[in-house]
Amino acid sequence: MALKTFKPYTKSTRGTILISRDGLWKGKPFKSLTAPNNSSKGRNNYGRITSRNHGGGHKHKYRKIDFYRKKIGLTAEVERIEYDPNRSCHIMLVKFEDGERFYYLSPKDIKVGDVIQNGSDSEIKIGNCLPLKDIPVGVDIHNVEINPGGGGKIARSAGTSVSISGIDGNYSIIKMTSGEVRKINSNSMATIGVLSNPDQKNIKIGKAGRSRWLGKRPHTRGVVKNPVDHPHGGGEGKSAGGRHPVSPTGQSAKGLKTRDNKKTDKFIIRRRKKKRA
């Protein structure tokens, strides 16, 4: 997919960069694979705001994606590749030999008419889904299960993939994009290829209105609030120093590690790379 730039007819079009959707399906989604997607607008079951600055946004339906890829023994043809408002990568509608259709995450370089398959007897080809034990070392994969049968959890956003760097008994050693290296059960399923729409990271929104279409509301910085409203608030003029950066609830906002899952620590061989301050 190519990027679209615009002539500066207005202030918003001057900096806008969007993704061209020329090769995507222009009709409506496959109806039986959609569901209502009513936004919570950042509120919990009591109606109280628990995630700030959420709300509004364009109305859309949820596309039911099959992350499990359990239909084994039959081949499927890619009928069309679609835009999905619920995720950053594109999705593809596939039709199996028995007539059943599913939505799958669409890898890069896959085309309408390509044939794909699930299961351990599948070919090492883009779009095919196999157990990790049947995939060669060094191949790019996405939609990786953490536990066998649990559905793909790792590498599901636009342009992402992970790779197998080795085998350790019943486990495959997976290298993440973040730099983390961890062990995953070799019976877990994964799909061959890098996910579509890698230019998603180059989008420039261009105007506040487009953020509102995405369901993002205006955000007020803590330093311009009163002390009663935010830990950064108060002071004379533009005083922003003298405080440790924290969230409105007092949680440190710069590099505090919040991970607390000792059960899976044994599977992590190397932690992810630290971000630069």
pLDDT tens digits, one per residue of 202-222: 999 999 999 999 999 999 999
* 3-class secondary-structure state, position 133: helix
What secondary structure, in 3-state letters, does 241-277 show?
CCCCCECCCCCECCCCCCCCCHHHHHHEEECCCCCCC
Q: What percent of the chain has pLDDT over 70?
A: 97
Domains and CATH numbers, the chain: 3-200 (2.40.50.140), 220-265 (4.10.950.10)
pLDDT bin (cut points 50, 70, 90) of residue 152 is very high
Long-range (24+ apart) CB contacts under 8 A made by 241-250 are 248/52, 248/222
Sorted by sequence, the CB contacts under 8 Å of residue 83 that are 6+ apart come out as 21, 24, 25, 90
Strands (E), the chain: 3-5, 17-19, 34-35, 62-63, 75-82, 91-96, 101-105, 115-117, 129-131, 140-142, 144-145, 152-154, 162-168, 171-175, 181-185, 189-192, 268-270
> For position 48, what pLDDT does the model report?
95
State pTM to two decimals: 0.91
